[in-house]
Amino acid sequence: MALDPIHAFYCKKDYLTLAQSCKIKSEGICARCGGVFDINELRPHHKIELTLDNVDDPKIALNPDNIEVLCHNCHNAVHRRFGNVVGSKHVYLVHGSPCSGKTSYVETVATRDDVIVDLDKIHRSICICGLYDKPDATKAIAFNIRNMLLDEIYTAGTRRKWQDAYVIATMPDVYERERFVSQYGAEPIHIATSRDECIRRAKQDIKRTSVLDAVIGWINNYWQRYSE
């Protein structure tokens, strides 16, 4: 399933660069409440809401004057979340190649009331390891934690306190994605960064040759297996 135009816009480099620039320029100050926060806790918000009619208009979508930087609580209030469940839950399957920008995308659109299922971050939270280092000794624990979170997403219903859920995965196999979408009622969001760009990012970010070779191998394996 193709990414809808608004989700696709939030994945674009031009927007991600602008969003980060606005957060830095804010000096950590929320435009609504005036509180001071770490910039990673802030969210850019379009004053004129993006729609299918204006998402391709740079005067609106990429205009820094149309973006205010908000803390989580103010961002939730703007979207009428207020820390409570609003209507049906939404589950998003954010999938794509290693180094495609899946986590960066989720960090841009998610709020503090959302559940994020990211196996890489789970693994890093339970052992002393780098981003691309996944010791065999702790893999089973990481998968068990991920599965527990998926069970929560599947069974929570209206009793949940969280708002939406973002599940980050590679899932190159279309049948695996379709099975997940059917089981969880999820909306697939493909971060469609090209193979060459993923490899370029890996070379830029990873200094250790052995780790870089492994990651490039994962990227190539993903694209060999990927099917729409």
DSSP string, 18-77: HHHHHHHHTTTB-TTT--B--GGG-EEEESS---TTTTT-HHHHT-GGGEEEE-HHHHHH
Mean pLDDT of the chain: 88
Rounded CA separation 144/124 (Å):
14
- What confidence category does residue 82 fall into, taking pLDDT thresholds of 50, 70 and 90? very low
- What confidence category does residue 88 fall into, taking pLDDT thresholds of 50, 70 and 90? low
Percent of the chain at pLDDT > 90 equals: 61
- pLDDT tens digits along 132-165: 888 889 999 999 999 999 999 988 766 677 888 9
Residue type for 197, please?
Answer: E
DSSP state for residue 159 in the 8-state scheme: G
Would you state the pLDDT for residue 2?
Answer: 52
- What confidence category does residue 166 fall into, taking pLDDT thresholds of 50, 70 and 90? very high
* Average pLDDT value for residue range 19-27: 94
pLDDT of 62 higher than 80: yes
pTM of the model: 0.66
CA–chain centroid gap for 143, Å, is 19
Would you state the pLDDT for residue 63?
Answer: 95
Question: Which of 53-62, 82-91, 103-112, 153-162 has the lowest average pLDDT?
Answer: 82-91
Strand partners, 69: 44
Angle of CA points 34, 13, 76, to nearest 5°: 35
Question: Which of 5-14, 136-145, 206-215 has the lowest average pLDDT?
Answer: 5-14
